[in-house]
Structure 1
Amino acid sequence: MPDAAATPATTPQGLPAGTTRHVLKPRPPFTGYAVAAVMSIAGAVLIVVDAARDWSNGWIALFAVVLALGIALALTATWSMFRMRLYVDLDAKGYHIHGAGQDRSGTWADVTRAALTESRSRLTLYHGQVRRTHIVRPGVGDPAEMDRMAADIAHRLDADRGYSQSPR
């Protein structure tokens, strides 16, 4: 049995102790789901009507394609919701942004400023005069999660610089 001191502590998400994960995800594509439902139901109903009225097999094939396209649209909408998730892991040393085709990281010592846009759709980490790291909320997303992440980043930047968060 391994020694408890030799095993690093982890969070319930499997991250090292002291690390927080912010998951930025888009809202469900309700319009895509509605179109997929209409296509699927229409295709299925028309297949049944076609079979009951003895129409030609060409019509059955066409309605089967409509049904298949509706199902494919629903699956694609669901897949895109998971594919567009952006994970931002923050710890005492720095940040790691991954998911949605991105993989970036940096340290708090390199960050000179952090700013959240008024719409709360993008948080920018400034690294001196030139370099920027943008954390963009996918799709419409949840502005409250951006607020929580911005507060966490501000707290970690203050801690890295030795600033106190306690009232006087």
Structure 2
Amino acid sequence: ENPEQRVTLSLQSPLMGCTPKNPMRLRTAEKQTIKYKPKKQIVVLSIALVCIFILVFSLFHKSATKDSANPPLTNVLTDSISQIVSACPGEIGVAVIVNNRDTVKVNNKSVYPMMSVFKVHQALALCNDFDNKGISLDTLVNINRDKLDPKTWSPMLK
């Protein structure tokens, strides 16, 4: 094979709507798909996750003392996470295991393909990098084969 041959990295995710337009280039998300600031979205999601974990530890720290007049702490946590998730775009599922015995699940009925889950993080990192560099999300990115780690498995390297 020609070492100069270009390969395509695809960031396909229901959240990002990324699809390759040209088989030899990567097209990031289209303008009409993302109508929010990626950096702001990352900050909001990060704050929400921090709040969730603080809430988990504060609610279950005193799990030994239960008051029958109050709803179970798992219900309070489920309601809080549901409110945060419903305010975010996309389909989001959350599962938290507390004290190795209680599991709080939100949007657990959907099947989330693992590769799509991994791509969301990569797409957010790419959007953040583009935002920091002032690059438009419509920018075509060429990646030469010699820039890819040959020890990493990828169907695009076959």
Identify the structure with bigger relative contact order (alpha carbons < 8 Å, sequence gap 6+). Answer: 2
* Larger of the two Rg values belongs to structure: 1
After TM superposition, the score normalised by the length of structure 2 is 0.32
After TM superposition, the score normalised by the length of structure 1 is 0.30
